[in-house]
Amino acid sequence: MLPEKQRIVVTGIGVLTSIGIGIDAYWDSLVKGKSGIGSVTQFDASDYPCRVASEVNDFDPAQYMDPKEVKRNDRYTHFAVAAAKLAMTDGKLDKTSVDPERFGVLVSSGIGGLGTIEKQSRTLFERGPRRVSPFMIPCLIANIASGVVAIEMGARGPNFSVVSACAGGTHAIGEALKFLRSGDVDVMLAGGSEAAITQLGFAGFCAMKAMSTSYNDNPDTSSRPFDATRDGFVMGEGAATIILEEYEHAKKRGAKIYAEIIGAGLSGDAYHVTAPAPEGEGAFRSMREALRDGGINPEDVDYINAHGTSTILNDLNETKAIKKLFGEHAYKLAISSTKSMTGHLLGATGALEAIVCILVIKNSIIPPTINLDVPDPECDLNYTPKIAISKNVDYAITNTFGFGGHNSTLLFKKYDE
């Protein structure tokens, strides 16, 4: 275990997804196995091979931001600010309870303001350069959500955005952990946000043949990790942030503590732009390094929130990586892919699924992998099919892997005073 002065704890959670806004709604839906995937409503998808997505509906950004700022920012920034404010409220943290110079923000996005790029490109080509918005550039850049969140929170410590595709959310949390361990900050708000359900985003992923196309008439069954009939991922949107806090600082202000974060591992495949390294070699090293960082053995781990994208290569290679690292213990692990319910939130997915691990530890319940109807014989571990189970969990890890060969794993531990 790390020296006590370096213990880092989770004291606040903010989440905004298709299956719930706020920690209680999100967790309740996960435990019940509720799918948030439906037919695309944000544009006419009738000409697209994939016509399903996990959209955040009934969201009013003006509840979280000044209406003028809503107009000046992209949807992904709206999501990030909402998740950040939910985390701050949940953690009972405000500008009076932390030194602003020792309070940092790291919010990742894999793509940034794609909706803004699409809208302003259309304006440029249809109406000319003088009609392009002066807010276009700050709207679309992938770091701006982190900057806006810091402005809203008054956080004047480290502030930047990690951009590493689908691994960005976990990388952001891992970097936040390093800042806290260094002693340079007391509190970090870290996570990810994404809003890429646009015509352009869909066209690109469809052209790659990466998304599910076989379940357009049954959207809630389209994301089916580890199932033999899986045929691609389902795009989701939303945001997730957590408050990480130095233990003594949290204790002094009487904060509630969900769990400890004790390890972060990362690796690069150096293999292919989009395909994972054979046999899950990069994923194996990412998990191994997280356990080394946390000072625990593979057999200590109780639960894995898998990257589990519902693509042929990812699910198979992740399974192989788990088997390689955990050996016989792999068959004793509880594993689930909550992407079966939320879809894949790209740069926000790692933070969202880190929250799953935190809540699994806190509540001793493993959420299911829904739609696991015909198990792939090569994916033969316990993926908690269809129904949540009760299980004490002392240690949990979450995996995220992104285009470019980026791999990241976080390790959480049950909090014990």
User: CB burial class (10 A; 0-12, 13-18, 19+) of residue 200?
Assistant: middle
Asked about 139 being catalytic, the answer comes back as no
**Three-state secondary structure call for residue 166:** strand
> What pLDDT was estimated at residue 357?
98
Q: Kindly state whether residue 417 falls inside one of the protein's structural domains.
A: no
pLDDT for 1? 44
Contact residues for 171 (Cβ-Cβ < 8 A; gap 6+):
108, 162, 164, 266, 350, 406, 408
Distances (CA, A) of 342 to 19, 97, 202, 328, 348: 7, 34, 17, 30, 11
107 located within any domain: yes
Q: Is residue 416 part of a domain?
A: no
Q: How high is the pLDDT of residue 256?
A: 97
In whole angstroms, what is the distance from residue 241 CA to residue 172 CA?
Answer: 10
Residue 99, token pair as written in the block? 């030194």
Q: What is the pLDDT of residues 238-289, one digit of tens each?
A: 999 999 999 999 999 999 999 999 999 999 999 999 898 989 999 999 999 9
Looking at residue 109, what is its pLDDT?
A: 97
The catalytic position among 307, 357, 379, 406 is: 307
The residue ranges of the chain whose pLDDT is under 70 are 1-5
Encode pLDDT of 59-75 as tens digits: 999 999 999 999 999 99
Give which of 410, 197, 201, 403 is closest to 314, Cα–Cα.
403
Question: Residue 115 falls within a domain, yes or no?
Answer: yes
Q: Which two tokens stand for residue 347?
A: 């740069």
Q: Which of 166, 206, 357, 379 is catalytic?
A: 166
- Output the pLDDT for position 95: 81
Please name which of 353, 352, 357, 355 lies closest in space to residue 394, comparing C-alpha atoms: 357
The CA-based angle 225-206-109, given to 5 degrees, is: 75
- For this structure, is 406 an active site residue? no
Which amino acid belongs to residue 10?
A: V
Into how many domains does the chain fold? 1
CATH code of residue 105: 3.40.47.10
Q: What are phi and psi of 74, to 5 degrees?
A: -75, 160
> Is 350 within a domain?
yes
The active-site residue, picked from 78, 171, 249, 344, is 344
In a domain, 188, yes or no: yes
Q: Does residue 297 lie within any of the structural domains?
A: yes
Enumerate residues 6+ apart whose C-beta is below 8 A from 220.
Answer: 35, 37, 38, 371
Q: Is residue 412 part of a domain?
A: no
C-alpha 404/C-alpha 111 separation (Å) is 13
CA 365 to centroid of chain Cα atoms:
19
For 146, the domain range is 8-405
